[in-house]
Homo-oligomer: A and B are copies of this chain.
Amino acid sequence: MPDDVKIRAAGRADEDALWSMLEPVFRSGDTYAIDPGISRAAALDYWCAAPHRAFIAEAGGEPLGTYFLTPNQQGGGAHVCNCGFVTAPAARGRGLARAMLEHALQAARAAGFRAMQFNFVVETNTRAIAIWSSYGFDVAGRLPGAFRHPEKGFVDALVMYKHL
C-alpha cells in the first residue's frame, strides 16, 4: 500500500468521493447484489446509514477506497459484524483492499465483535475471495446459483466467516 494512504471515518463531506467509487461498482452489477440502477441517494444510504459505519481511504486528497462496518444481525446475532469494500478503479492492484480489511478487522475487534461474516461473495470475484482467504476467512456456505452475473449467468455466492 502507498505509504501516504490514510483511512478514516467518512462523513457528509465525503459523499461525492464515496459516490465516485460506489457508482461504477454498483452500475456494473457483477459483484454486489444491488440494483444496478440504484440512485445516488439510495446508494449512499445503503453504504453509510446507521448502523453502518463508513470509512474512506485516501492519499493526497484522492479517494482510493471505502468500506463499511456493521452488525450483521441484531439481538443474539449482534456479536458478528459484516463489511462491504469498494476500491476505486484507479487504485486497484495497489493493496487497498488488504489495507482496508486490516483496518476493518482492527475496528471490529475494538468494537467488541467476535466474528466477521461476508454474506454474499460472488464466486467470480476471485480476487476478493483470494484476499479474504489469505486473511483466514473460511467458506462457511455456498449458495448455488444465487447470483445472476450480467455476463456469466447464474453463479454461486459464498458465505465467508472469520472468528476475531
Contacts and interface: CB of A to CB of B under 8 A. Distances in A.
A159 interface: yes
Interface stretch (A1-9, A62-70, A85-93, A114-122): A114-122
A146 interface: yes
Nearest to A80: B146
Contacts of A157: 77
A30 B76 contact: yes
A120 B161 CA distance: 14
Interface string A131-163: 000000000111111111110000001010101
Interface residues of A, number: 38
B161 A73 contact: no
A126 interface: no
A37 to B, nearest CB: 9
B159 A143 contact: yes
A98 interface: no
A75 B145 contact: no
Contact of A119 (B33, B115, B119, B163): B119
Nearest to A156: B140
Contacts of A73: 33, 120, 146-147
A122 B77 CA distance: 10
Contacts of A33: 73-78
A117 B143 contact: yes
